[in-house]
Amino acid sequence: MFFTQVLNGLQLGSIYALVALGYTMVYGIILLLNFAHGDIIMVGAYVSWLVMAQLGLPPVLAIILSVAACTLMGVLIDKVAYAPLRNAPRLSILITAIGVSYFLENGAQLVFGADAKVVPAYTELTTVQLGGLSLSFPSILTVLVTVVATVALTVVVQKTKLGKAMRAVSEDMGAARLMGINVNTTISFTFAVGSALAGIGAVLYAMAYTQANPTMGMMLGTKAFVAAVLGGIGSIPGAVVGGLLVGFAEVFVTAIGLSVWKDAVVFLLLIIVLVVRPTGIFGRTMNEKV
Amino acid sequence: MFENVSRRNFLQVSAASVALLGLAGCNGSSDSGEGGDASGSIKVGIMGPHTGDNSSYGLACLNGAQLYFKQLNEDGGVNGKQIEPVVYDEKGDATEAVNAYNRLVQEDGVTGIVGDVTTGPTIAVAQASVADNMPCVTPSATAADVVTYGSNYFRACVTDPEQGRVMANFAAEQGYKNVATLYLSGSDYSEGVNAAFCEEAEAKGITITAQESYSEGDVDFNTQLTNIINTNPDAILVPNYYQDDGMIVTQARAQGYDKVFLGVDGWSGIYGGSENYADAADLHDCYYCCAFSSSNDSEVAAQFIEDYEAEYNETPTNFCALGYDAAMVLANGLAAAEEAGLEPGSEDYKQAVIDGIASGTVEGVTGSISYEGTGDPIKSSLIITFAEDGTEETFEVLEA
């Protein structure tokens, strides 16, 4: 039972981590809390539903199209809503992000209705037998995919030219531009990668929880935001550790029979971190440029 | 089933009841309106939310009740008199409901009412109707309060706790020794069923191995299910609505739980409705109780389904059946008063209708309905299960 609960925590934490990675990357590069990020996951889940339940196409196609739709959505949101405000005060762009979030939620409600839609199973395999234990296949897959995605992301950011450009833009946008880095392309790329991760998160979410509804991204996004801040916003390992921490905290509180207090405990964690160590676990203290 | 409505409308209910105390004082003596006319018709009111959020429930009850009165009239009515339904929409609002009630009683002069439909407005109407001693039958308001204000209010459905007791009896009958529960914290419906189930089950010698809860909006039930499965229960009670039930069943099956699930009427719609909220393959060994299912093969129910489909061109739901039965219960009371040869609209007439309902038994489409000193019915329940392809089947009829 202990092992199963650990797996439950890992699964929940992994989904938070995937979403938190998107938050953290966008924040790292343009200091924007992209509140629409959770809703991109909702879009991904609906795409899976459309492809499988409505069009009757195979799950592989649903996964590819969901991730592609999320990626496209992320880049599109940046181009339409955020790019024109690149030089505007940070508050304007933050409020725009909240606006985009509401737009997506209500848009989905208008198009798909308020009722939950059931995303068909991606795979016949639901249970894995491991040494006498019955383990849920979506749980194991979620954990594995998150590990792979995190490693891949780290490699992209640390080893590739685009990754180098991302780090440069995040350190000093003006200087990066002077060095010949195409800032807009780099920002678009960041949105694309972050949203692709959200797309993967959407598929894993739909696999585990089987339902898509217009407001599903709201709480998920908020929890992932807490995870990103907890780990140190802007830090990739921070997002993963923060996500796992939030996941384990929820599972622990629920397992001891206090499920009603679950959300309160998560937000209490956020408050404690903000008071004790405002930059988060892996955050660097940054000196404000004068 | 509609506790949330009751809480949302609490203020309106309170306001309505205060307003009512005044009204009741003024109108106490002028309420003996005409209950019918010389040509020999009997006016009855039908009220409910026919527009707005809860309109699907209100319209279903209305259709059911009107179908019953139509059939009754075709068969010659009550004591040779035709039933003349007067319909009011209260828009799901307690104040509107009291207004509609006052119009029915004072302007239309009805002798009985089928309604109201949801808990909040029904409580307001129940409080208003006590002073008039107006016979009323609600098809579907499940809160305990509804029938406690006076002896004039009856219901055709069973209460939430009663459903819990029904499932506890079913569990005992099936020989389950250990049962765990997973309910929605903060929902009167879910908590009410859970508490009644646990009490009754323990009285029957069943061990409750775990009582886990979750919050509104949760989608991950794995942690609670791991705790529950670890206690190795023979069955898990899930007294929630179908969207949550679907996720819970799916996640439990993924964790390797292959034994029994027990549910209540909130399960209705989990499969074969607008969406399939769980795979047919996962719905094996799931049992829930409800008043009516289109899978019911009893003669009365089959006839009702046929008639309803002919009249409205759609398959009747639970609420259509309850509306039909509520109308039947009221008509049974009216028949008693007519037989006694009393003058419609008089105090004696109304009391005779109430006594007629209280002492009579009707064979409704949701089972046999009788009353024992309260407005809560003694009635049978259907236990529904799922075939291999997910379609609902009547497993058995549990007599009261």
**Residue A114 has what pLDDT?**
78
Q: How many beta-carbon contacts under 8 Å exist across A and B?
A: 87
Do the chains contact at A118 and B276, CB–CB below 8 Å?
yes
Q: Tell me what pLDDT residue A285 has.
A: 59
Q: Is B247 helix (H, G, I), strand (E, B) or coil?
A: helix
Residue A281's nearest CA partner among A241, A226, A223, A224 is: A241
CA distances (Å), origin B71, targets A162, A209, B38? 77, 47, 22
Q: Which residues of A touch B243 (CB under 8 A)?
A: 116, 211
Cα–Cα distance, A265 to A270 (Å, whole number): 9
Domain boundary among the residues B290, B313, B342 is at B290
Q: How far apart are CA B162 and CA B356, in angstroms?
A: 24
Tokens linked to B53: 């959020």
Question: B374 and B329 share a domain?
Answer: yes
Q: What is the DSSP letter of A259?
A: G
- Residue B392 placed within a domain: no
Q: Residue A120 — very low, low, confident or very high, per pLDDT cuts 50/70/90?
A: confident
CB distance from B186 to chain A under 8 Å?
yes
* Two tokens, residue B346: 């008089």
Residue A164 has pLDDT above 70, yes or no: yes
Nearest-CA neighbor of A211 among A88, A38, A49?
A49
C-alpha closest to that of A121 among B247, B223, B263, B219: B247
pLDDT (0 to 100) of residue B396: 85
Give B377: exposed, middle or buried? Use CB within 10 Å, 0-12, 13-18, 19+.
buried
Q: Chain A closest CA to B199's CA: distance in Å?
A: 20
Domain-embedded: residue B1: no
| pLDDT the model gives residue B31 | 37
B74 and B103 belong to one structural domain: yes
Q: For the segment A257-289, what is each residue's pLDDT rounded down to a tens digit? A: 888 888 899 999 989 988 988 888 887 655 554
B165 touches chain A (CB under 8 A): no
pLDDT value of position B195:
92
Residues of B in contact with A139 (CB under 8 A): 222, 254
d(CA B10, CA B214): 24
DSSP secondary structure of B7-71 = HHTHHHHHHHHHHHHHHHHHHTTS----SB-TT-EEEEEEEE--SSTTHHHHHHHHHHHHHHHHH
Q: Does B190 touch chain A (CB under 8 A)?
A: no
Same domain, B208 and B319: no
* B220 and A CB contact within 8 Å: yes
How far apart, in whole angstroms, are the C-alpha atoms of residue A21 and residue A221? 11
> Can you tell me the distance from the alpha carbon of B269 to that of B326, in angstroms, rounded to the nearest whole number?
23
Q: Is residue B30 part of a domain?
A: yes
- Inside any domain, residue B253: yes
d(CA B339, CA B291): 30
Query: In angstroms, rounded to a whole number, what is the distance separating the alpha carbons of residues A153 and A193?
Result: 8
CATH number of the domain encompassing residue B244? 3.40.50.2300
* pLDDT per residue as tens digits for the range A84-112: 988 888 889 999 999 999 999 999 988 98
- Give yes or no: residues B355 and B241 share one domain: no
Residue of A nearest to B222 (CA): A8
At which of B246, B270, B290 does a domain end?
B290
Q: pLDDT (tens digit, 9 = 90+) per residue, A166-178?
A: 888 888 888 988 9
pTM as predicted? 0.78
Q: Torsions phi, psi of B365, nearest 5?
A: -75, -15
Q: Tell me which H or E stretch contains A211.
A: strand A211-212
Say if residue B217 is in the same domain as residue B339.
Answer: no
- C-alpha B79/C-alpha B336 separation (Å) is 9
Place of tokens 């995605």: A149
What are phi and psi for residue B95, nearest 5 degrees? -65, -45
Closest Cα of chain A to B176: distance in Å? 23
Which among B345, B357, B375, B347 is positioned nearest to B104, based on CA atoms? Answer: B345
Name the residue with higher pLDDT: B298 or A19: A19
Dihedral, A240, A242, A244, A250 alpha carbons, nearest 10: -160
How far does the CA of residue A267 sit from the closest CA of chain B (Å)? 16
Q: Let me know whether B182 and B264 are in one domain.
A: yes
Secondary structure class of B275 (helix, strand, coil): coil
Q: What is the pLDDT of residues B61-118, one digit of tens each?
A: 999 999 999 999 999 888 888 999 999 998 888 899 999 999 999 999 999 999 899 8
Among B215, B230, B256, beta carbon nearest to A262 = B215
> Given this model, what pLDDT does residue B269 score?
77
Question: In this structure, are B149 and B19 located in the same domain?
Answer: yes
Give B275's contacts in chain A (Cβ within 8 Å). 115-118
Q: A138 vs B254: CB contact, 8 Å cut-off?
A: yes
Q: Is residue B386 assigned to a domain? A: no
Question: Is B76 domain-assigned?
Answer: yes
CA–CA distance, A234 with A229 (Å, rounded to integer): 9
Give a yes or no: residue B396 inside a domain: no
Question: Mean pLDDT for chain A?
Answer: 88
Task: Using the 3D structure, point to which of B237, B256, B290 is the last residue of a domain.
Answer: B290
Q: Which domain holds residue B265?
A: 160-290
Give the helix/strand (H/E) hosting A128.
strand A127-130
- Whether chain A has a CB inside 8 Å of the CB on B302: the answer is no
C-alpha span between B89 and B103 (Å, rounded): 12
Place of tokens 């993967």: A200
State the burial class of residue A81 (Cβ atoms within 10 Å of its Cβ: 0-12, 13-18, 19+): middle
Mutate to test the interface with A, among B213, B219, B241, B249 (most CBs of A within 10 A): B219
pLDDT in tens, B304-338: 999 999 999 988 888 899 999 999 999 999 999 98
Distances in whole angstroms, Cα of residue A253 to Cα of each of A240, A246, A266: 20, 11, 10
> Who contacts A20 (Cβ-Cβ below 8 Å, separation ≥6)?
A224, A225, A227, A228, A231, A239, A240, A242, A243
Q: Which residues, in sequence order, are bridge partners of residue B42?
A: B36, B83
- Residues B138 and B53 reside in one and the same domain: yes
Query: Does residue B52 sit in the same domain as residue B185?
Result: no
| Together in a domain, B358 and B216 | no
Amino acid at B185: S
Over residues A48-62, mean pLDDT:
90
- Domains contained in chain B, number: 2
Are the C-beta atoms of B24 and B150 separated by less than 8 Å? no
**Domain membership flag for residue B63:** yes
CA separation for the pair B268, B382 (Å, rounded): 12
Helices (H), chain B: 3-8, 10-27, 55-74, 94-102, 119-132, 160-173, 188-203, 222-230, 242-254, 299-312, 318-339, 347-359
Q: What is the 3-class SS of A215-256, one letter each residue? A: CHHHHHHHHHHHHHHHHCCCCHHHHHHHHHHHHHHHHHHHHC
Instruction: Please work out, in degrees rounded to the nearest 5, the angle formed at the alpha carbon of residue B368 by the alpha carbons of B312 and B302.
Output: 35
Do residues B112 and B69 both lie within one domain?
A: yes
Instruction: Note whether B153 and B197 are same-domain residues.
Output: no
Residue B72's pLDDT is 94
Is residue B182 within 8 Å of residue B248, measured between CB atoms? yes
User: Given this model, what pLDDT does residue A29 score?
Assistant: 85
pLDDT at A129 over 90: no
What is the C-alpha separation between A264 and A269, in angstroms, rounded? 9
Complete DSSP assignment for B79-110: TTBEEEEEEEE-TT-HHHHHHHHHIIIIII--
Tell me the C-alpha distance between A135 and B9, whole Å. Answer: 45
- What mean pLDDT do residues A228-255 have? 90
Closest CA to A201 of A44, A10, A33: A44
**pLDDT exceeding 90 applies to what percent of chain A?**
44
- Predicted confidence pLDDT, tens digits, chain B (400 residues): 444 444 444 445 444 444 444 444 444 333 334 444 445 789 999 999 998 777 888 899 999 999 999 999 999 888 888 999 999 998 888 899 999 999 999 999 999 999 899 888 999 999 999 999 999 999 988 888 888 899 999 999 988 888 899 999 999 999 999 999 999 988 888 888 999 999 999 999 999 999 999 988 888 898 999 999 999 999 999 998 888 899 999 999 988 899 999 998 888 878 876 778 888 888 989 999 888 877 777 788 889 999 999 999 988 888 899 999 999 999 999 999 988 888 887 889 999 999 999 998 998 898 889 998 888 998 888 888 998 888 888 888 887 6
- Residue A136 touches chain B, beta carbons under 8 Å: yes
